[in-house]
Structure 1
Amino acid sequence: MEKYNELKALIASIDEDASKFFEKGNNAAGTRVRTGLQKVKALAQEIRNAVTEAKNTK
């Protein structure tokens, strides 16, 4: 559950930069959004692997 909460916090941290990019056209914010989303992708994969492992050990 800790990783899931970390994922939610990471997505929340991207919110402000996403607004800056999409609403104001700030390209630097867009770069930060892309970086954050790459971290989201990696963390989501870790969570998927942990869920699969837990499911298969039951």
Structure 2
Amino acid sequence: MSRFEEVKNLISGLEDDFHKFYDKGNKAAGTRVRNGMNEAKKLAQEIRKEITDIKNSGK
């Protein structure tokens, strides 16, 4: 479950930048959100691979 916590922490850490970008139009915050979402994408892919490996090793 620590991987799940990593995802939650990453997304919650971007919350202020989401508000700055969408509510205030801060373009630098938008860049930080994009970079953070790219990290979330990479982390999600790693988790998917890990789950697949665990599932397949049980057969």
Q: Per the shorter chain, which TM-score range?
A: over 0.9
Q: How many residues align?
A: 58
Name the structure 2 match of 1:19: 19
Q: Which runs of 4+ in 1 moved over 2 A?
A: none
List gaps (5 residues or longer) in structure 1: none
Q: In the aligned structure 2, how far is the partner of 1:3 from the partner of 1:12? A: 14
Query: Alpha carbon RMSD of aligned pairs, Å?
Result: 0.6
**1:10-49 correspondence to structure 2 within 5 Å:** 10-49=10-49
CA shift, 1:2, in A, is: 1.2
State the TM-score, normalizing by the size of structure 2: 0.94
Q: In the aligned structure 1, how far is the partner of 2:46 from the partner of 2:2? A: 12
Letter in 2 for 1:2: S
